[in-house]
Amino acid sequence: MTLINRLKAEHSLILSALSLILVAVFHQDLFQDYSLTLSLTVFFILFIIIIYAAMGVVHHAEILAYKFGEPFGTLILTFTAITVEIIMITEIMLNGDEDPTFARDTIFSTVMILLNGLIGLSMIIGGFKFGEQFFNLKSSVSFFSMILIVTGLGLIFPSIPHEGGHEKPYQIFLIIVCLSLYAFFVRMQTKEHKMYFSYSKHKMLSEIKEEFPGIDIKKESAVYHSIIMVIAIVLISILAEYLSTAIDNGVYMLGLPKYLASFIVALVIISPESLTAIRAARNNEMQRTINIALGSALSTITLTIPAVIIVGFITGQQITLALTPYMTVMLLITIIIGILSTSRGEANALQGFIHFVLFATYIFIIFLFQ
């Protein structure tokens, strides 16, 4: 199949690209009119298009995962998505109104979605279908150890009352610590301790062929699938920016909490990873689900915090990383439950339901503390 024919078959990519062109051309007409009906219509159309595009990302991510094996396949997906997310946050900070807590709220929202919503839903789906699903315990221990230290140093420690004048030196220290920890972790994940992030039960070649009929995974071009996946995620992120405008309009007119807009945008942005993780759970590949969910949460914290601090230094904006009391409690409960639910290398529906209850609690708090 020629390159042109392959590109013609990328229906979700073509649809999202055409949608982006139309939205950019008619931006003034679509977003300057504060009509509730128009805002809701634009929201639902863009939401459906973004989810459809995310399903296309899932296809390419799975091919890469089977081609390279764990953890390389999912690492490509998570790193690409988080990079785009950081670029979006940076762009909003540079071009939008100054909001000291914007980055913190975005990081917290993403972590709650990944550690509670995504893991909870995946464990419930996989648990009902297979009973128990197994993964390498060493991977979850490694992830949660990293998540605990970076959230403690980056989000919880700054919330402790202290005398002023030490924020800038500590933020510089935080940049160095976060980047060093993540770089060292990725090195361990891909080389010395690569076996921690894979599980002994691998799919047979016949099973892979059934899942991808007409595709020879060994002969597939990794460069092609990587480029298409990156382009699709970039298109999704740009469409998500327009989606956020429609959400802001709707939230304002309906009198809903302002944090709801950030939550929905975060949910849409991480949809490619989320769909990939859920599909992996349905295919009895809980190891991939763990790698994606916990890996994305870790990347969000360790890479976003240095990025926003650097932007704050350059622009002179004040950056507030300290969590509110309810955020701190929610985060600590989430990490403790996460450590306990993955402490045996087994996942079931009960553990998933506990995580999902925490996710529902987070959504309830959004409305309670508006």
74 inside domain? yes
What pLDDT is attached to residue 200?
62
Interatomic CA distance for residues 56 and 23, integer angstroms = 20
What pLDDT is attached to residue 112?
93
**Whole domain around residue 164: which residue ranges?**
11-368
Is residue 256 classed as helix, strand or coil in its secondary structure? coil
12, 53 contact by CB (below 8 A): yes
Interatomic CA distance for residues 109 and 114, integer angstroms = 9
DSSP letter for 165, please: S
End-to-end distance of the chain based on CA atoms, in angstroms?
A: 54
168 inside domain? yes
What pLDDT is attached to residue 120?
95
2 inside domain? no
Tell which residue, 338, 269, 293, 256, has the closest CA to residue 36. 256
3 inside domain? no
Tell which residue, 234, 292, 244, 263, has the closest CA to residue 87. 234
Question: Residue 38: left (phi > 0), alpha (psi -120 to 50), or beta?
Answer: alpha
5 inside domain? no
What pLDDT is attached to residue 228?
85
Interatomic CA distance for residues 82 and 293, integer angstroms = 12
Interatomic CA distance for residues 65 and 310, integer angstroms = 33
127, 133 contact by CB (below 8 A): yes
Q: What is the dihedral of CA 158, 162, 167, 171, to 10 degrees?
A: -30
What pLDDT is attached to residue 329?
93
Q: What burial class does residue 250 get, using C-beta atoms within 10 Å of its C-beta: 0-12 exposed, 13-18 middle, 19+ buried? A: buried
What pLDDT is attached to residue 181?
94
* CATH code for the domain of 195: 1.20.1420.30
Which amino acid belongs to residue 153? L
Give the pLDDT of the chain (370 residues) as one tens digit per residue: 566 777 777 888 888 889 888 888 877 766 666 677 777 788 788 888 888 887 787 777 778 777 777 677 777 777 777 777 777 777 777 766 677 887 888 889 899 999 999 999 999 999 999 989 999 889 999 999 999 999 999 999 888 876 666 788 888 999 999 999 999 999 988 888 888 888 765 554 444 444 555 566 666 777 888 888 888 888 887 887 777 777 777 777 777 777 777 787 778 778 878 888 898 899 898 998 999 999 989 998 999 899 889 988 888 888 888 898 889 999 999 999 999 999 888 999 999 999 999 999 999 988 876 5
149 inside domain? yes
154 inside domain? yes
Residues 6+ apart with CB under 8 A from 102: 89, 92, 93, 96, 262
Cα atoms in the Cβ-side hemisphere of radius 13 Å centred on 298: 28
123, 354 contact by CB (below 8 A): no
How many separate domains does the chain show? 1
Residues 6+ apart with CB under 8 A from 104: 155, 320, 321, 322, 323
6 inside domain? no
